[in-house]
Amino acid sequence: MEKLIRNIDTESWQLIKTEAIKHNLKISQLLKLLILEHMRLENKKKGWNMILKRDKVLSDLEAKKIKDAVSEFEKSYDFED
């Protein structure tokens, strides 16, 4: 099945064709690889953002209590810095 892609400037089209030829791929194969790679990178970013930018699990007070408890535990076993 053939599809038409509109509004691609000449320079971009030349780059697409050149890369496809260089890697012995059809243009459709190259576009599929590019899309999959783009999706992989986007998912990777989303994954880290979910981890790094999520709401706090503990309140500041709860975090301080845990930190103090760990410090006490380390002191009792001579783990201090």
For residue 55, what are its two tokens? 């709401």
What CA–CA distance (Å, rounded) separates 55 from 58? 9
Mean pLDDT for the stretch of residues 62-68: 94
Question: What CA–CA distances, in Å, run from 47 to 39, 42, 50, 56, 69?
Answer: 12, 9, 5, 17, 31
Per-residue model confidence as pLDDT tens digits over 10-51: 999 999 999 999 999 999 999 999 999 999 888 888 877 777
What CA–CA distance (Å, rounded) separates 9 from 59? 53
Domain spans, the chain: 10-76
What pLDDT score was predicted for residue 81? 57
Alpha-helical regions (H) of 1-81 = 10-22, 27-52, 60-76
What pLDDT score was predicted for residue 49? 75
Using 50, 70 and 90 to split pLDDT, how confident is the model at 64?
Answer: very high
Question: What CA–CA distances, in Å, run from 76 to 5, 64, 73?
Answer: 69, 18, 5
Mean pLDDT for the stretch of residues 58-71: 93
